């Protein structure tokens, strides 16, 4: 081929014109035509005129070009959007003073004859036995590993057993404690994590077949903080695939109370394992009920902290503005013990707030303004009878219940925030058609939701967040009148509403329905006031025995 400088300028122009025409003809196959626009209008709820459609055609094709270029850029799930959700109401005042944490005394804890009987001891009780050297971390860890091996396969609650790592950590804890280098109440305590948190030496599967061999070379912040506290990681636990329900690539996680049924999700293995006495506590996450629901179904106590309390660095993103890392335990005070170790900033997650955590196990109900969602509790629903008994018990304990109602805002409609963000988080999964590998393929499953999310206009997503801003302001007006409020765990809009506003909640068991299903009730607090709702839940629990009941596995 001759160099271009030897071609006349006229010939060069002809060549460029021809090449541009070829390029244009190749692109027109993918271009948006005017007759395509009316169909799209129906999806968005608009109706434009023919003149308007003609005018916008070039702009639509230009935007399509932007999308095509964006699709060429690989965006890892760990990359957040530059727009950060702000849950803080206008004029909100943060607690600035950190007081000493006041836990209950566990000095009456006795070592049982058989170590297996420690399976259902609380974190506080196990902590006392380890500190006083009545049991070693290694002995305790081996016992729980044995239970994980025995019952995990029956419950489908374990994805990866971290046995070698656990025994190494337990040995280190015992050596430190023998030298009086005691790190605190989690030192030597075994635990498990939902398998959406990264561990550099073990796979992180997100419960989904397309990622079941995924290795990510980092430890999540939460895991690092628990390791610093001396806790012992024993297992990566099952989760509903990509954080939905209780079905993962290994099957359906089972409810220890009735293994013919699921554990609910998506913190499925975390709830099932704690309920079955396979671990003293486990880390879970919630976007819209993923701690509250499995805690209820499996009869454990769960904490969903305020948005911005616990680092999500190293956690799978489903919805950047709604995901929260929390925990599932035997009782409310265990929540406080563990939460104190995982909260706080880390220099990675930019959504975090450095706020004190104040917990006092001795709280006076008579000094609190405790609200309850009167209209929701008045409805006829499956938990109604047990919820009524729970409210009565709270009044017996000195609570003066104040009837309240949640803000009347379009809560259900703005759930498109979650849908849009989830679609973005798994954009490449959809475009690659690897979503076909997911176990669940019905209309309400992720593959279809992700596809439908492509049709949520950016304008509607932004306006939904503007409505969310109004919701946050209205919620603050309500919370200024009370300290804590009580809600049915599933009835009404409370679960979605508080996940949108970022308020913390504690869910505790309240017994069984006549049909044998477990029930629960939920305590909701002010932003960053986890200590108060945990303390209130603890007083309620110590006046009942629901949290001390355990399933029979053999």
Cis omega (within 30 of 0) for bond into 61:
no
Asked if residue 511 belongs to a domain, the reply is yes
Residues 6 and 135 in one domain: no
Asked if residue 319 belongs to a domain, the reply is yes
Tell me which residue of 501, 505, 511 sits closest to 547, measured CA to CA.
511
Note whether 528 and 353 are within 8 A (CB).
Answer: yes
Which of 136, 157, 266, 505 is flagged as catalytic? 266
Structure confidence at residue 28 (pLDDT): 40
Which of 290, 293, 341, 489 is flagged as catalytic? 290
pLDDT at residue 6 above 80? no
Percent of the chain surpassing pLDDT 90: 94
Asked if residue 35 belongs to a domain, the reply is no
Structure confidence at residue 274 (pLDDT): 98
CA distance 278 to 149: 9
Asked if residue 429 belongs to a domain, the reply is no
Q: Residue 19 is part of which domain span? A: 1-28
Residues 165 and 272 in one domain: yes
Asked if residue 22 belongs to a domain, the reply is yes
Parallel, antiparallel, or unpaired for β 282-286 and 232-237?
A: unpaired
Average model confidence (pLDDT) across the chain? 94
Give me the CATH number covering residue 167.
3.90.1300.10
pLDDT at residue 365 above 90? yes
Name the token pair of 78: 């760990």
pLDDT at residue 162 above 50? yes
19 is catalytic: no
Residues 280 and 401 in one domain: yes
Asked if residue 78 belongs to a domain, the reply is no
Residues 386 and 282 in one domain: yes
Domains in the chain, number: 2
pLDDT (tens digit, 9 = 90+) per residue, 52-102? 999 999 999 999 999 999 999 999 999 999 999 999 999 999 999 999 999
Note whether 286 and 304 are within 8 A (CB).
Answer: yes
Structure confidence at residue 29 (pLDDT): 52
290 is catalytic: yes
Which of 137, 142, 157, 194 is flagged as catalytic? 194
Residues 152 and 290 in one domain: yes
Element (H, E) at 498: helix 494-501
Structure confidence at residue 554 (pLDDT): 81
Grade residue 44 by pLDDT with cuts at 50, 70 and 90: confident
Higher pLDDT, 491 or 20: 491
pLDDT (tens digit, 9 = 90+) per residue, 523-538? 999 999 999 999 999 9
Asked if residue 526 belongs to a domain, the reply is yes
178 is catalytic: no
Residues 166 and 22 in one domain: no
Grade residue 9 by pLDDT with cuts at 50, 70 and 90: very low
Asked if residue 206 belongs to a domain, the reply is yes
Structure confidence at residue 27 (pLDDT): 41
CA distance 104 to 112: 20
pLDDT (tens digit, 9 = 90+) per residue, 133-150? 999 999 999 999 999 999
Residues 502 and 370 in one domain: yes
The Cα-based distances of 490 to 33, 372, 383, 485, 545 in angstroms read 47, 14, 9, 15, 22
């Amino acid at each position: 081929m001759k160099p271009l400088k030897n071609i006349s300028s006229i010939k060069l122009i002809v060549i460029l014109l021809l090449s541009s025409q070829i390029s244009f003809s190749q692109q027109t196959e993918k271009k948006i035509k005017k007759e395509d626009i009316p169909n799209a209008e129906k999806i968005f709820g608009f109706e434009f005129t023919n003149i308007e459609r003609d005018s916008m055609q070039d702009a639509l094709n230009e935007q399509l070009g932007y999308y095509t270029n964006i699709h060429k850029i690989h965006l890892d799930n760990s990359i957040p959007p530059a727009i950060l959700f702000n849950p803080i109401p206008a004029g909100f005042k943060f607690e600035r003073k950190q007081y000493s944490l006041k836990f209950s005394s566990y000095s009456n804890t006795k070592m049982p004859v058989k170590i297996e009987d420690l399976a259902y001891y609380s974190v506080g009780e196990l902590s006392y036995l380890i500190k006083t050297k009545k049991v070693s971390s290694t002995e305790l860890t081996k016992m729980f590993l044995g239970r994980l091996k025995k019952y995990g396969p029956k419950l489908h609650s374990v994805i990866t057993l971290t046995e070698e790592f656990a025994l190494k950590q337990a040995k280190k804890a015992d050596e430190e404690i023998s030298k009086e280098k005691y790190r605190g109440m989690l030192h030597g305590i075994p635990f498990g994590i939902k398998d959406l948190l990264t561990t550099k030496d073990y796979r992180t599967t997100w419960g989904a077949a397309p990622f079941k061999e995924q290795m990510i070379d980092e430890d999540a912040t939460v895991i690092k903080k628990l390791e610093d506290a001396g806790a012992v990681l024993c297992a990566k636990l099952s989760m509903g695939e990509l954080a939905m329900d209780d079905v993962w690539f290994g099957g359906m996680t089972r409810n220890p109370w009735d293994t013919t049924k699921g554990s609910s999700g998506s913190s499925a293995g975390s709830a099932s394992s704690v309920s079955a006495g396979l671990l003293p506590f486990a880390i879970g996450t919630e976007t819209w009920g993923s701690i509250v629901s499995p805690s209820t179904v499996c009869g454990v106590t769960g904490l969903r902290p305020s948005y911005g309390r616990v680092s999500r660095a190293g956690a799978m993103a489903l919805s950047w503005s709604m995901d929260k890392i929390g925990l599932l335990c035997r009782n409310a005070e265990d929540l406080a013990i563990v939460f104190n170790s995982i909260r706080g900033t880390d220099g990675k997650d930019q959504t975090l707030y450095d706020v004190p955590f104040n917990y006092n196990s001795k709280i006076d109900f008579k000094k609190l303004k405790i609200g309850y969602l009167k209209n929701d509790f008045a409805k006829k629903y499956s938990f109604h009878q047990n919820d009524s008994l729970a409210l009565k018990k709270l009044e017996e304990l000195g609570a003066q219940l104040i009837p309240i109602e949640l803000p009347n805002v379009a809560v259900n409609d703005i759930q498109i925030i979650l849908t849009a963000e989830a679609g973005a988080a798994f954009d490449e999964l959809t475009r690659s058609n690897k979503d076909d590998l997911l176990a669940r393929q019905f209309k309400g499953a992720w593959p279809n939701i992700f596809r439908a999310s492509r049709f949520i206009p950016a304008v509607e997503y932004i306006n939904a967040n503007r409505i969310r801003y109004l919701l946050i302001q209205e919620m603050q007006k309500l919370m200024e009148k009370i300290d804590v409020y009580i809600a049915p765990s599933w009835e009404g809009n409370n679960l979605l509403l508080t996940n949108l506003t970022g308020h913390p909640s504690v869910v505790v068991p309240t017994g069984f329905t006549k049909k044998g299903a477990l029930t629960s009730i939920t305590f909701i607090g002010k932003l960053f006031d986890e200590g108060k709702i945990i303390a209130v839940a603890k007083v309620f629990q110590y006046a009942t025995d629901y949290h001390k009941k355990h399933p029979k596995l053999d």
